[in-house]
Amino acid sequence: MAWFRKTRRKKPAAEKEALWVVCPGCKAHIHKDKWDPGLNVCPECGFHDKLTCRQRIDLTADAGTFEEFDADIAAGDPLEFSDARGGYADKAAETAAKTGLKEAVLTGRCKLEGITVVLAVMDFRFLGGSLAGSTGEKILLASDHALRHKFPFIVFSASGGARMHEGIVSLMQMAKTCAGIARLHKARVPYLSVLTNPTFGGVSASYATVGDLNIAEPGALIGFAGRRVIEQTIKEKLPDDFQTAEYLLEHGFIDRIVHRRDLKPFLSQVLNYWSRS
Protein backbone atom coordinates (compact mmCIF):
# COMPACT_ATOMS: atom_id res chain seq x y z
CA MET A 1 0.00 0.00 0.00
CA ALA A 2 2.98 2.24 0.57
CA TRP A 3 3.60 2.40 -3.13
CA PHE A 4 0.02 3.34 -3.85
CA ARG A 5 0.13 6.09 -1.26
CA LYS A 6 3.30 7.39 -2.69
CA THR A 7 1.85 7.46 -6.13
CA ARG A 8 -1.19 9.32 -4.96
CA ARG A 9 0.92 11.83 -3.14
CA LYS A 10 2.92 12.40 -6.23
CA LYS A 11 -0.11 13.17 -8.36
CA PRO A 12 -0.08 16.79 -9.41
CA ALA A 13 -2.68 18.76 -7.50
CA ALA A 14 -4.35 20.01 -10.66
CA GLU A 15 -4.98 16.55 -11.97
CA LYS A 16 -6.25 15.39 -8.61
CA GLU A 17 -8.64 18.33 -8.44
CA ALA A 18 -9.94 17.56 -11.86
CA LEU A 19 -10.76 14.00 -10.86
CA TRP A 20 -12.04 14.49 -7.34
CA VAL A 21 -14.39 16.93 -5.71
CA VAL A 22 -13.88 17.52 -2.01
CA CYS A 23 -17.28 17.84 -0.33
CA PRO A 24 -17.33 20.95 1.87
CA GLY A 25 -19.80 19.12 4.13
CA CYS A 26 -18.27 15.70 4.86
CA LYS A 27 -14.82 16.40 3.38
CA ALA A 28 -15.10 13.15 1.41
CA HIS A 29 -13.35 12.99 -1.95
CA ILE A 30 -16.06 12.32 -4.48
CA HIS A 31 -15.18 11.24 -7.96
CA LYS A 32 -16.23 13.95 -10.35
CA ASP A 33 -18.44 11.54 -12.32
CA LYS A 34 -20.55 11.13 -9.22
CA TRP A 35 -20.71 14.86 -8.46
CA ASP A 36 -23.36 16.56 -10.58
CA PRO A 37 -21.99 20.08 -11.00
CA GLY A 38 -25.41 21.41 -11.98
CA LEU A 39 -26.91 20.19 -8.72
CA ASN A 40 -23.87 20.61 -6.47
CA VAL A 41 -25.15 18.19 -3.85
CA CYS A 42 -22.81 15.68 -2.23
CA PRO A 43 -23.93 12.14 -3.14
CA GLU A 44 -22.42 10.90 0.13
CA CYS A 45 -23.76 13.24 2.83
CA GLY A 46 -26.35 15.27 0.95
CA PHE A 47 -24.55 18.55 1.62
CA HIS A 48 -26.05 21.26 -0.57
CA ASP A 49 -23.21 23.38 -1.87
CA LYS A 50 -23.86 26.88 -3.13
CA LEU A 51 -25.18 27.45 -6.63
CA THR A 52 -24.56 30.38 -8.89
CA CYS A 53 -27.69 32.18 -9.95
CA ARG A 54 -27.27 30.79 -13.47
CA GLN A 55 -27.08 27.25 -12.14
CA ARG A 56 -30.20 27.91 -10.10
CA ILE A 57 -32.07 29.24 -13.08
CA ASP A 58 -31.01 26.23 -15.14
CA LEU A 59 -32.40 23.97 -12.43
CA THR A 60 -35.64 25.92 -12.12
CA ALA A 61 -36.70 27.42 -15.43
CA ASP A 62 -37.97 25.32 -18.32
CA ALA A 63 -35.18 25.20 -20.88
CA GLY A 64 -34.85 28.36 -22.92
CA THR A 65 -37.68 30.23 -21.24
CA PHE A 66 -35.83 32.59 -18.92
CA GLU A 67 -36.01 36.25 -19.86
CA GLU A 68 -33.91 38.43 -17.62
CA PHE A 69 -35.27 41.69 -16.22
CA ASP A 70 -33.25 44.81 -15.63
CA ALA A 71 -29.94 43.34 -16.70
CA ASP A 72 -28.57 46.84 -16.85
CA ILE A 73 -29.03 47.58 -13.17
CA ALA A 74 -25.65 47.52 -11.49
CA ALA A 75 -24.55 48.19 -7.94
CA GLY A 76 -24.52 51.91 -7.20
CA ASP A 77 -22.43 53.62 -4.56
CA PRO A 78 -24.87 55.91 -2.77
CA LEU A 79 -22.51 56.57 0.14
CA GLU A 80 -19.29 56.87 -1.91
CA PHE A 81 -18.04 54.34 0.55
CA SER A 82 -14.44 53.37 1.08
CA ASP A 83 -12.74 51.28 3.71
CA ALA A 84 -9.22 50.18 4.49
CA ARG A 85 -8.96 48.25 1.25
CA GLY A 86 -10.23 51.04 -0.98
CA GLY A 87 -13.46 52.13 -2.55
CA TYR A 88 -16.65 50.08 -2.67
CA ALA A 89 -17.27 51.10 -6.29
CA ASP A 90 -13.97 49.49 -7.30
CA LYS A 91 -14.70 46.41 -5.27
CA ALA A 92 -18.12 46.04 -6.86
CA ALA A 93 -16.67 46.52 -10.34
CA GLU A 94 -14.00 43.93 -9.62
CA THR A 95 -16.60 41.47 -8.35
CA ALA A 96 -18.71 42.16 -11.40
CA ALA A 97 -15.78 41.44 -13.69
CA LYS A 98 -14.97 38.22 -11.86
CA THR A 99 -18.54 36.90 -11.69
CA GLY A 100 -20.07 38.36 -14.80
CA LEU A 101 -22.85 39.68 -12.53
CA LYS A 102 -23.84 43.28 -11.99
CA GLU A 103 -25.61 42.66 -8.70
CA ALA A 104 -26.22 39.97 -6.09
CA VAL A 105 -29.57 39.08 -7.58
CA LEU A 106 -30.72 38.05 -11.01
CA THR A 107 -34.39 38.57 -11.81
CA GLY A 108 -36.59 37.57 -14.66
CA ARG A 109 -39.55 35.67 -15.96
CA CYS A 110 -39.70 32.08 -17.06
CA LYS A 111 -41.86 29.03 -17.34
CA LEU A 112 -41.71 26.53 -14.52
CA GLU A 113 -43.19 23.26 -15.74
CA GLY A 114 -45.34 25.35 -18.00
CA ILE A 115 -46.44 27.96 -15.44
CA THR A 116 -45.22 31.50 -15.97
CA VAL A 117 -43.44 32.73 -12.85
CA VAL A 118 -41.22 35.61 -11.87
CA LEU A 119 -37.92 34.66 -10.28
CA ALA A 120 -35.40 36.51 -8.17
CA VAL A 121 -32.26 34.49 -7.55
CA MET A 122 -29.53 35.67 -5.24
CA ASP A 123 -25.91 34.82 -5.86
CA PHE A 124 -23.62 34.53 -2.87
CA ARG A 125 -20.53 35.16 -5.00
CA PHE A 126 -21.50 38.80 -5.43
CA LEU A 127 -20.34 40.32 -2.13
CA GLY A 128 -21.85 37.53 -0.07
CA GLY A 129 -25.25 37.87 -1.68
CA SER A 130 -25.65 41.10 0.22
CA LEU A 131 -28.80 43.21 -0.05
CA ALA A 132 -28.05 46.68 -1.37
CA GLY A 133 -29.91 49.46 -3.16
CA SER A 134 -29.94 47.96 -6.59
CA THR A 135 -30.51 44.44 -5.20
CA GLY A 136 -33.64 45.70 -3.49
CA GLU A 137 -34.64 47.66 -6.54
CA LYS A 138 -34.38 44.61 -8.79
CA ILE A 139 -36.40 42.52 -6.33
CA LEU A 140 -39.09 45.17 -6.04
CA LEU A 141 -39.28 45.59 -9.80
CA ALA A 142 -39.61 41.82 -10.17
CA SER A 143 -42.35 41.57 -7.52
CA ASP A 144 -44.05 44.48 -9.23
CA HIS A 145 -44.03 42.62 -12.53
CA ALA A 146 -45.54 39.63 -10.74
CA LEU A 147 -48.20 41.89 -9.25
CA ARG A 148 -49.20 43.48 -12.55
CA HIS A 149 -49.55 40.20 -14.37
CA LYS A 150 -50.58 38.01 -11.44
CA PHE A 151 -47.63 35.73 -11.98
CA PRO A 152 -46.39 33.85 -8.92
CA PHE A 153 -43.19 35.27 -7.48
CA ILE A 154 -40.39 33.02 -6.29
CA VAL A 155 -37.26 34.22 -4.52
CA PHE A 156 -34.18 32.09 -3.88
CA SER A 157 -32.24 33.70 -1.06
CA ALA A 158 -28.56 33.27 -0.27
CA SER A 159 -27.16 36.14 1.67
CA GLY A 160 -25.04 37.19 4.57
CA GLY A 161 -27.37 40.16 5.12
CA ALA A 162 -27.43 43.82 4.24
CA ARG A 163 -24.50 45.29 2.30
CA MET A 164 -22.86 47.63 4.76
CA HIS A 165 -21.06 49.56 2.01
CA GLU A 166 -24.42 51.06 1.18
CA GLY A 167 -25.23 51.79 4.80
CA ILE A 168 -28.74 52.97 5.48
CA VAL A 169 -29.71 52.63 1.82
CA SER A 170 -29.08 48.94 2.18
CA LEU A 171 -31.09 48.75 5.40
CA MET A 172 -34.04 50.46 3.75
CA GLN A 173 -34.20 47.74 1.10
CA MET A 174 -35.68 45.51 3.79
CA ALA A 175 -38.67 47.83 4.04
CA LYS A 176 -38.76 48.35 0.31
CA THR A 177 -38.79 44.68 -0.69
CA CYS A 178 -41.31 43.85 2.04
CA ALA A 179 -43.60 46.56 0.71
CA GLY A 180 -43.56 44.70 -2.59
CA ILE A 181 -44.39 41.44 -0.84
CA ALA A 182 -47.20 43.10 1.11
CA ARG A 183 -48.79 44.12 -2.18
CA LEU A 184 -48.59 40.55 -3.46
CA HIS A 185 -50.23 39.28 -0.28
CA LYS A 186 -53.06 41.79 -0.61
CA ALA A 187 -53.58 40.99 -4.27
CA ARG A 188 -53.57 37.24 -3.52
CA VAL A 189 -50.62 36.59 -5.81
CA PRO A 190 -48.51 33.64 -4.62
CA TYR A 191 -45.14 34.40 -3.15
CA LEU A 192 -42.83 31.51 -2.42
CA SER A 193 -39.59 32.00 -0.55
CA VAL A 194 -36.80 29.47 -0.95
CA LEU A 195 -34.09 29.86 1.67
CA THR A 196 -30.73 28.44 0.77
CA ASN A 197 -27.44 28.31 2.61
CA PRO A 198 -26.83 30.85 4.11
CA THR A 199 -29.69 33.32 4.65
CA PHE A 200 -29.06 35.85 7.40
CA GLY A 201 -29.61 39.35 8.70
CA GLY A 202 -31.32 41.84 6.45
CA VAL A 203 -32.51 39.16 4.06
CA SER A 204 -33.86 36.66 6.60
CA ALA A 205 -35.50 39.58 8.39
CA SER A 206 -37.31 40.77 5.28
CA TYR A 207 -38.67 39.04 2.19
CA ALA A 208 -37.08 35.64 2.85
CA THR A 209 -39.28 34.70 5.81
CA VAL A 210 -42.67 36.06 4.76
CA GLY A 211 -43.44 33.65 1.95
CA ASP A 212 -46.82 32.03 1.63
CA LEU A 213 -44.55 29.08 2.06
CA ASN A 214 -41.04 29.30 3.42
CA ILE A 215 -39.12 26.48 1.80
CA ALA A 216 -35.57 25.62 2.76
CA GLU A 217 -32.86 23.42 1.34
CA PRO A 218 -31.56 20.71 3.69
CA GLY A 219 -28.94 21.89 6.12
CA ALA A 220 -29.20 25.52 5.06
CA LEU A 221 -28.14 27.92 7.81
CA ILE A 222 -30.80 30.53 8.42
CA GLY A 223 -30.95 33.11 11.16
CA PHE A 224 -31.04 36.74 12.12
CA ALA A 225 -27.79 37.16 14.02
CA GLY A 226 -24.69 35.11 13.32
CA ARG A 227 -23.76 32.21 15.57
CA ARG A 228 -20.57 33.89 16.80
CA VAL A 229 -22.31 37.12 17.75
CA ILE A 230 -24.87 35.15 19.72
CA GLU A 231 -22.26 33.02 21.46
CA GLN A 232 -20.43 36.18 22.47
CA THR A 233 -23.63 37.74 23.74
CA ILE A 234 -24.95 34.83 25.77
CA LYS A 235 -21.50 33.44 26.66
CA GLU A 236 -22.60 29.93 25.85
CA LYS A 237 -21.90 27.39 23.13
CA LEU A 238 -24.82 26.83 20.82
CA PRO A 239 -26.01 23.38 19.78
CA ASP A 240 -24.74 22.02 16.47
CA ASP A 241 -28.12 22.13 14.77
CA PHE A 242 -28.74 25.74 15.79
CA GLN A 243 -30.04 27.84 12.86
CA THR A 244 -30.19 24.89 10.48
CA ALA A 245 -33.21 24.52 8.24
CA GLU A 246 -34.16 21.48 10.33
CA TYR A 247 -34.04 23.55 13.53
CA LEU A 248 -36.23 26.22 11.97
CA LEU A 249 -38.72 23.62 10.76
CA GLU A 250 -39.03 22.30 14.30
CA HIS A 251 -39.54 25.84 15.58
CA GLY A 252 -42.34 26.53 13.15
CA PHE A 253 -40.75 28.91 10.64
CA ILE A 254 -40.25 26.65 7.64
CA ASP A 255 -43.05 24.87 5.79
CA ARG A 256 -40.92 22.27 4.11
CA ILE A 257 -37.34 21.25 3.63
CA VAL A 258 -36.96 20.14 0.05
CA HIS A 259 -33.95 18.45 -1.53
CA ARG A 260 -32.59 20.46 -4.41
CA ARG A 261 -33.35 17.78 -7.00
CA ASP A 262 -37.04 17.84 -5.91
CA LEU A 263 -37.39 21.58 -5.71
CA LYS A 264 -38.68 22.30 -9.18
CA PRO A 265 -41.46 19.70 -9.10
CA PHE A 266 -42.30 20.85 -5.58
CA LEU A 267 -42.68 24.47 -6.63
CA SER A 268 -44.84 23.54 -9.58
CA GLN A 269 -46.95 21.30 -7.37
CA VAL A 270 -47.54 24.17 -4.95
CA LEU A 271 -48.40 26.63 -7.71
CA ASN A 272 -50.93 24.21 -9.09
CA TYR A 273 -52.94 24.80 -5.93
CA TRP A 274 -53.40 28.42 -6.70
CA SER A 275 -56.63 29.31 -8.42
CA ARG A 276 -56.84 32.64 -10.21
CA SER A 277 -60.59 32.85 -9.95
Applying CB under 5 A, the residues found at the interface with Zn ion are 23, 25-26, 42, 44-45, 47
Torsions phi, psi for 58 (to 5 deg): -60, -35
Selected range binding other proteins among 24-32, 39-47, 112-120, 252-260, rule: CB under 8 A: 252-260
Q: Angle at CA 175, nearest 5°, toward 172 and 181?
A: 145
Instruction: Give Cα 146 distance to the centre of its chain.
Output: 19
Identify the H or E element spanning 112: strand 105-112
CA–CA gap between residue 111 and residue 106 (Å, rounded): 16
Q: Which does 129 bind (CB under 5 to 8 A by kind): other proteins, Zn ion, none?
A: none
Decide: is 167 part of the binding site for other proteins (CB under 8 A). yes
3 state SS of 228: helix
x-marked contacts with other proteins along 79-118 as a string, rule CB under 8 A: x-xxxxx---------------------------------
Is 241 a residue that touches other proteins (CB under 8 A)?
no
- Whole-Å CA distances, 15 to 27, 31, 34: 18, 12, 17
Residue from 111, 113, 255, 268 binding other proteins (CB under 8 A): 255
Comparison of 47 and 66: residue with beta carbon closer to Zn ion: 47
Position among 77, 201, 217, 260 found at the interface with other proteins (CB under 8 A): 201
Picked from Zn ion, other proteins, none, the partner binding residue 78 (CB below 5 to 8 A depending on kind) is: other proteins
